[in-house]
Amino acid sequence: MKQKVGIIKIGGAFLEDEKLLEKFYSAFSAMEGLKILVHGGGQRASKLSTDLGITPQMVHGRRITDAKSLEVVTMVYAGWANKTLVAGLQGRGCNALGLSGADANLIRALRRPVKDIDYGLVGDVERVNTEGLSTLLNAGFTPVFCALTHDGKGQLLNTNADSIAADLAMALSPAYEVRLIYCFEKQGVLRNVNDPESVIPSMDTDNFKSLQKEGVISAGMIPKLFNSFRALQAGVDQVIIGPVSLLSGQAPKYTQIQL
Protein backbone atom coordinates (compact mmCIF):
# COMPACT_ATOMS: atom_id res chain seq x y z
CA MET A 1 0.00 0.00 0.00
CA LYS A 2 1.33 3.43 -0.95
CA GLN A 3 2.06 5.97 1.75
CA LYS A 4 -0.20 9.02 1.61
CA VAL A 5 1.05 12.56 1.04
CA GLY A 6 -0.95 15.78 0.94
CA ILE A 7 0.18 18.66 -1.22
CA ILE A 8 -1.48 21.92 -0.24
CA LYS A 9 -1.20 25.10 -2.28
CA ILE A 10 -2.30 28.41 -0.77
CA GLY A 11 -2.57 31.78 -2.45
CA GLY A 12 -1.03 35.08 -1.42
CA ALA A 13 -4.36 36.20 0.06
CA PHE A 14 -3.64 34.04 3.12
CA LEU A 15 -0.62 36.17 3.90
CA GLU A 16 -2.68 39.35 3.72
CA ASP A 17 -5.45 38.20 6.08
CA GLU A 18 -4.36 37.52 9.65
CA LYS A 19 -7.52 35.62 10.66
CA LEU A 20 -7.41 33.42 7.57
CA LEU A 21 -3.73 32.74 8.13
CA GLU A 22 -4.34 31.70 11.74
CA LYS A 23 -7.04 29.26 10.59
CA PHE A 24 -4.62 27.85 8.04
CA TYR A 25 -1.79 27.42 10.55
CA SER A 26 -4.07 25.47 12.89
CA ALA A 27 -5.60 23.27 10.19
CA PHE A 28 -2.37 22.53 8.33
CA SER A 29 -0.39 21.80 11.51
CA ALA A 30 -3.07 19.37 12.64
CA MET A 31 -2.96 17.36 9.40
CA GLU A 32 -1.50 13.93 10.02
CA GLY A 33 1.02 12.21 7.78
CA LEU A 34 3.35 13.50 5.12
CA LYS A 35 2.56 16.92 3.69
CA ILE A 36 4.00 19.65 1.50
CA LEU A 37 3.02 23.30 1.32
CA VAL A 38 3.32 25.44 -1.81
CA HIS A 39 2.57 29.14 -1.54
CA GLY A 40 2.24 32.23 -3.64
CA GLY A 41 2.67 35.84 -2.63
CA GLY A 42 1.55 37.68 -5.72
CA GLN A 43 -0.50 40.34 -3.96
CA ARG A 44 2.44 41.47 -1.83
CA ALA A 45 4.81 41.23 -4.82
CA SER A 46 2.52 43.46 -6.89
CA LYS A 47 2.25 45.98 -4.05
CA LEU A 48 6.02 46.10 -3.52
CA SER A 49 6.60 46.40 -7.27
CA THR A 50 4.23 49.36 -7.43
CA ASP A 51 5.91 50.96 -4.39
CA LEU A 52 9.24 50.63 -6.20
CA GLY A 53 7.86 52.17 -9.39
CA ILE A 54 7.67 48.87 -11.29
CA THR A 55 4.30 48.28 -12.96
CA PRO A 56 3.17 44.64 -12.53
CA GLN A 57 2.14 42.96 -15.79
CA MET A 58 -0.21 39.96 -15.80
CA VAL A 59 -1.46 37.89 -18.74
CA HIS A 60 -4.10 35.17 -18.18
CA GLY A 61 -3.28 35.10 -14.48
CA ARG A 62 0.47 34.75 -15.05
CA ARG A 63 3.11 37.35 -14.23
CA ILE A 64 5.45 38.83 -16.83
CA THR A 65 8.86 38.75 -15.12
CA ASP A 66 11.78 40.93 -16.20
CA ALA A 67 15.04 41.20 -14.21
CA LYS A 68 13.71 43.87 -11.83
CA SER A 69 10.47 41.99 -11.28
CA LEU A 70 12.45 38.83 -10.51
CA GLU A 71 14.33 40.68 -7.78
CA VAL A 72 11.01 41.73 -6.25
CA VAL A 73 9.37 38.29 -6.36
CA THR A 74 12.51 36.69 -4.93
CA MET A 75 12.45 39.11 -2.01
CA VAL A 76 8.75 38.47 -1.40
CA TYR A 77 8.37 34.78 -2.24
CA ALA A 78 11.62 33.30 -0.90
CA GLY A 79 12.05 35.91 1.82
CA TRP A 80 9.10 37.51 3.57
CA ALA A 81 6.34 35.08 2.52
CA ASN A 82 8.28 31.85 2.89
CA LYS A 83 9.85 32.66 6.24
CA THR A 84 6.61 34.08 7.64
CA LEU A 85 4.91 30.75 6.89
CA VAL A 86 7.81 28.65 8.18
CA ALA A 87 7.96 30.59 11.45
CA GLY A 88 4.20 30.39 11.90
CA LEU A 89 4.15 26.63 11.35
CA GLN A 90 7.17 26.04 13.60
CA GLY A 91 5.32 27.95 16.31
CA ARG A 92 2.56 25.34 16.08
CA GLY A 93 4.76 22.27 16.22
CA CYS A 94 5.02 21.65 12.46
CA ASN A 95 8.66 21.08 11.46
CA ALA A 96 8.54 23.26 8.35
CA LEU A 97 11.51 23.73 6.05
CA GLY A 98 11.44 26.73 3.70
CA LEU A 99 12.59 26.00 0.15
CA SER A 100 12.79 27.23 -3.40
CA GLY A 101 13.23 24.90 -6.34
CA ALA A 102 16.94 25.76 -6.37
CA ASP A 103 17.52 24.34 -2.89
CA ALA A 104 19.00 20.85 -3.13
CA ASN A 105 18.17 21.03 -6.85
CA LEU A 106 14.62 20.00 -5.93
CA ILE A 107 12.80 21.61 -8.86
CA ARG A 108 14.58 22.23 -12.16
CA ALA A 109 12.82 24.34 -14.79
CA LEU A 110 13.24 25.53 -18.35
CA ARG A 111 12.75 29.17 -19.26
CA ARG A 112 9.45 29.47 -21.09
CA PRO A 113 10.04 29.91 -24.84
CA VAL A 114 8.73 33.04 -26.50
CA LYS A 115 5.62 32.39 -28.59
CA ASP A 116 2.76 34.87 -28.66
CA ILE A 117 3.90 36.34 -25.34
CA ASP A 118 7.35 36.86 -23.86
CA TYR A 119 6.95 36.02 -20.18
CA GLY A 120 10.57 36.88 -19.44
CA LEU A 121 12.31 35.06 -16.59
CA VAL A 122 9.51 32.57 -16.09
CA GLY A 123 10.11 28.85 -15.89
CA ASP A 124 8.11 25.70 -16.59
CA VAL A 125 9.03 22.72 -14.44
CA GLU A 126 11.32 20.26 -16.19
CA ARG A 127 11.82 17.74 -13.40
CA VAL A 128 11.45 17.21 -9.66
CA ASN A 129 14.15 15.61 -7.53
CA THR A 130 11.80 13.02 -6.04
CA GLU A 131 14.59 11.18 -4.22
CA GLY A 132 15.70 14.32 -2.41
CA LEU A 133 12.12 15.33 -1.65
CA SER A 134 11.29 11.88 -0.28
CA THR A 135 14.38 12.03 1.91
CA LEU A 136 13.15 15.27 3.47
CA LEU A 137 9.63 13.91 3.98
CA ASN A 138 10.84 10.68 5.54
CA ALA A 139 13.20 12.63 7.82
CA GLY A 140 10.20 14.37 9.35
CA PHE A 141 10.38 17.72 7.57
CA THR A 142 7.42 19.51 6.01
CA PRO A 143 8.74 21.22 2.86
CA VAL A 144 7.37 24.72 2.23
CA PHE A 145 7.98 25.74 -1.38
CA CYS A 146 7.83 29.27 -2.71
CA ALA A 147 7.11 30.00 -6.37
CA LEU A 148 10.72 30.02 -7.57
CA THR A 149 12.65 27.37 -9.50
CA HIS A 150 16.02 27.40 -11.29
CA ASP A 151 17.51 26.28 -14.59
CA GLY A 152 20.58 24.52 -13.19
CA LYS A 153 22.85 27.16 -14.75
CA GLY A 154 22.57 29.78 -12.03
CA GLN A 155 19.33 31.45 -13.11
CA LEU A 156 16.32 31.70 -10.82
CA LEU A 157 12.96 31.53 -12.58
CA ASN A 158 9.56 32.74 -11.46
CA THR A 159 7.18 29.78 -11.72
CA ASN A 160 3.44 29.68 -11.17
CA ALA A 161 2.75 28.21 -7.71
CA ASP A 162 -0.26 26.26 -8.99
CA SER A 163 2.02 24.63 -11.56
CA ILE A 164 4.65 23.81 -8.95
CA ALA A 165 2.03 22.11 -6.75
CA ALA A 166 0.76 20.06 -9.70
CA ASP A 167 4.27 19.05 -10.79
CA LEU A 168 5.22 17.99 -7.27
CA ALA A 169 2.04 15.91 -7.08
CA MET A 170 2.70 14.33 -10.46
CA ALA A 171 6.32 13.52 -9.61
CA LEU A 172 5.37 11.83 -6.33
CA SER A 173 2.31 9.96 -7.62
CA PRO A 174 4.17 6.81 -8.77
CA ALA A 175 5.45 6.22 -5.23
CA TYR A 176 2.75 7.82 -3.07
CA GLU A 177 -1.01 8.18 -2.86
CA VAL A 178 -1.25 11.90 -3.55
CA ARG A 179 -4.01 14.32 -2.63
CA LEU A 180 -3.62 17.79 -4.14
CA ILE A 181 -5.61 20.62 -2.56
CA TYR A 182 -5.77 24.12 -3.96
CA CYS A 183 -6.79 26.02 -0.86
CA PHE A 184 -7.95 29.62 -1.06
CA GLU A 185 -10.24 32.19 0.53
CA LYS A 186 -13.43 31.09 -1.29
CA GLN A 187 -15.57 27.95 -0.91
CA GLY A 188 -14.56 26.60 -4.33
CA VAL A 189 -14.86 27.49 -7.98
CA LEU A 190 -17.75 29.95 -8.22
CA ARG A 191 -20.29 30.31 -11.02
CA ASN A 192 -20.77 33.90 -9.93
CA VAL A 193 -17.78 35.60 -8.29
CA ASN A 194 -20.15 37.95 -6.48
CA ASP A 195 -22.10 35.07 -4.92
CA PRO A 196 -20.00 33.08 -2.43
CA GLU A 197 -22.67 30.36 -2.34
CA SER A 198 -22.53 29.66 -6.11
CA VAL A 199 -19.97 26.89 -5.71
CA ILE A 200 -19.61 24.46 -8.60
CA PRO A 201 -19.45 21.07 -6.78
CA SER A 202 -17.59 19.22 -9.54
CA MET A 203 -15.64 20.34 -12.56
CA ASP A 204 -14.53 18.33 -15.57
CA THR A 205 -12.76 19.38 -18.75
CA ASP A 206 -16.00 19.90 -20.69
CA ASN A 207 -17.40 22.19 -17.98
CA PHE A 208 -14.11 24.06 -17.86
CA LYS A 209 -14.07 24.78 -21.59
CA SER A 210 -17.71 25.83 -21.60
CA LEU A 211 -17.44 28.13 -18.58
CA GLN A 212 -14.23 29.64 -19.87
CA LYS A 213 -15.96 30.59 -23.12
CA GLU A 214 -18.80 32.16 -21.11
CA GLY A 215 -16.30 34.20 -19.13
CA VAL A 216 -17.34 32.56 -15.87
CA ILE A 217 -13.80 31.24 -15.35
CA SER A 218 -11.02 33.75 -15.94
CA ALA A 219 -7.77 35.23 -14.63
CA GLY A 220 -5.96 33.17 -11.96
CA MET A 221 -8.56 30.38 -11.91
CA ILE A 222 -7.55 29.37 -15.45
CA PRO A 223 -4.03 28.12 -14.57
CA LYS A 224 -5.38 26.57 -11.35
CA LEU A 225 -7.88 24.43 -13.25
CA PHE A 226 -5.48 23.71 -16.09
CA ASN A 227 -2.99 22.32 -13.58
CA SER A 228 -5.71 20.38 -11.77
CA PHE A 229 -6.63 18.47 -14.93
CA ARG A 230 -2.97 17.99 -15.82
CA ALA A 231 -2.31 16.43 -12.41
CA LEU A 232 -5.23 14.00 -12.66
CA GLN A 233 -4.24 12.98 -16.18
CA ALA A 234 -0.77 12.14 -14.87
CA GLY A 235 -2.08 9.83 -12.14
CA VAL A 236 -2.58 12.05 -9.09
CA ASP A 237 -5.28 10.41 -6.97
CA GLN A 238 -7.40 13.40 -6.00
CA VAL A 239 -7.57 17.15 -6.71
CA ILE A 240 -9.84 19.51 -4.78
CA ILE A 241 -10.30 23.29 -4.80
CA GLY A 242 -11.83 24.93 -1.75
CA PRO A 243 -11.50 26.62 1.65
CA VAL A 244 -9.10 26.06 4.51
CA SER A 245 -11.67 23.84 6.28
CA LEU A 246 -10.88 21.18 3.64
CA LEU A 247 -7.70 20.44 5.56
CA SER A 248 -9.68 19.24 8.57
CA GLY A 249 -12.31 17.49 6.44
CA GLN A 250 -15.04 19.90 7.53
CA ALA A 251 -15.69 21.95 4.39
CA PRO A 252 -19.44 22.15 3.67
CA LYS A 253 -18.74 23.14 0.07
CA TYR A 254 -15.81 22.68 -2.32
CA THR A 255 -15.08 21.80 -5.92
CA GLN A 256 -14.00 18.26 -6.80
CA ILE A 257 -11.96 18.11 -10.00
CA GLN A 258 -12.68 15.23 -12.37
CA LEU A 259 -11.59 14.19 -15.84
* Cα-based angle 158, 17, 63 (whole degrees, multiple of 5): 20
Distance CA 140, CA 135 (A): 9
Residue 83's pLDDT is 98
Q: From CA 123, how far away is CA 70, in angstroms rounded?
A: 12
Q: What is the pLDDT of residue 92?
A: 97
Q: How large is the angle between the packed helices 221-233 and 205-214, nearest 10 degrees?
A: 160
| Model pLDDT, residue 2 | 92
Asked if residue 77 lies in contact with residue 45, where contact means CB atoms within 8 angstroms, the answer is yes
Residue type, 7: I
| Domains with residue ranges and CATH for the chain | 3-257 (3.40.1160.10)
Quote the pLDDT of residue 58: 82
pLDDT value of position 50:
92
Identify the pLDDT of residue 62: 76
Residue 73 parent element (H or E): helix 67-73
What's the confidence (pLDDT) of residue 42?
A: 87
Question: Quick one: pLDDT at residue 63?
Answer: 84
CA–CA dist 240, 183 (Å, integer): 8
A 10 A CB-CB count for 71 gives: 15
Cα 242 to Cα 158, 162, 175, 215: the distances in Å are: 25, 14, 26, 20
CB neighbourhood size of 69 (10 A): 23
**Predicted local distance difference test score (pLDDT) of residue 61:** 66
Q: CA-to-CA distance for 98 and 149, rounded, in angstroms?
A: 13
Which pLDDT belongs to residue 146?
98
C-beta atoms surrounding 132 within 10 Å? 15
**What pTM does this model have?**
0.95
**Which 3 state secondary structure label does DSSP give 166?**
helix
User: Which pLDDT tens digits describe the chain residue by residue (259 residues)?
Assistant: 899 999 999 988 899 999 999 999 999 999 999 999 999 998 899 999 999 999 888 886 678 999 999 999 999 999 999 999 999 999 999 999 999 999 999 999 999 999 889 999 999 999 999 999 999 999 999 999 999 999 999 999 999 999 999 999 999 999 999 999 999 999 999 999 889 999 999 999 999 999 999 988 887 788 889 999 999 999 999 999 999 999 999 889 999 999 9
Computed over its alpha carbons, how large is the radius of gyration of the chain? 17
